[in-house]
């Protein structure tokens, strides 16, 4: 049984988009009675993914990012779509969070965070679009 399924939102890929996406996601997750701890984790992961699109996805202004949320009592699925250059975050090697700060590579912690809080992460490139799907199992 699907509790919340919307067409999603499409916003310009700007820093302001992050807040708009957060509000949309909060409404969808609240409507589906997602537990607060899961809601916080999902929001953190989605905000990180959208931030990556906004800051790294487009060389020139003018691109968009779309976010769609589908939730049920058992599962929340978020799909983030953009038309920036192909980028598959599932191919990023795991971050070495045990290394000394002076010896860590710059970057990659956002993808590590997304992997840490979500149960599934998939990526595909279709018709010049990046599709990142994040899944969180509930309960």
Domains defined for the chain, CATH in brackets: 4-137 (3.30.565.10)
The pLDDT value recorded for residue 2 is 46
Q: Which residue has the tokens 């000394």?
A: 100
pLDDT tens digits, 104-117? 555 556 788 899 99
Other Cβ atoms less than 10 A from the Cβ of 68: the count is 18
* pLDDT for 123 beyond 50: yes
Q: What is the SS3 assignment for 73-94?
A: CCEEEEEEEECCCCCCHHHCCC
Q: What pTM was computed for the model? A: 0.86
Nearest-angstrom CA–CA distance, 46 and 114: 8
pLDDT tens digits, 31-54? 889 999 999 999 999 999 999 999
pLDDT band at 59 (very low <50, low <70, confident <90, very high): confident
* pLDDT for 24 beyond 80: yes
DSSP 119: S
Residue 97 neighbours by CB under 8 Å, 6+ apart: 104, 109, 112
Report whether 66 contacts 10 (CB < 8 A): yes
DSSP code per residue over 4-65: EE---EEEESSHHHHHHHHHHHHHHHHHTT--HHHHHHHHHHHHHHHHHHHHHS-SSTT-EE
């Amino acid at each position: 049984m699907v509790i919340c399924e919307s067409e999603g939102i499409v916003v310009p890929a700007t820093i302001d988009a992050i807040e708009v996406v957060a509000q949309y996601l909060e409404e969808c997750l609240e409507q589906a009675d997602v537990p607060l701890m899961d809601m916080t984790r999902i929001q953190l992961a989605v905000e990180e993914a959208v931030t990556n699109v906004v800051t790294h996805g487009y060389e020139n202004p003018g691109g968009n990012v779309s976010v769609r949320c589908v939730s049920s009592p058992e599962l929340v699925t978020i799909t983030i779509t953009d038309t920036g250059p192909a980028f598959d975050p599932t191919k990023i090697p795991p971050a070495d969070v045990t290394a000394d700060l002076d010896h860590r590579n710059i970057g990659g912690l956002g993808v590590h965070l997304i992997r840490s809080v979500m149960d599934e992460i998939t990526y595909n490139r279709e018709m010049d679009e990046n599709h990142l799907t994040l899944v969180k199992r509930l309960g």
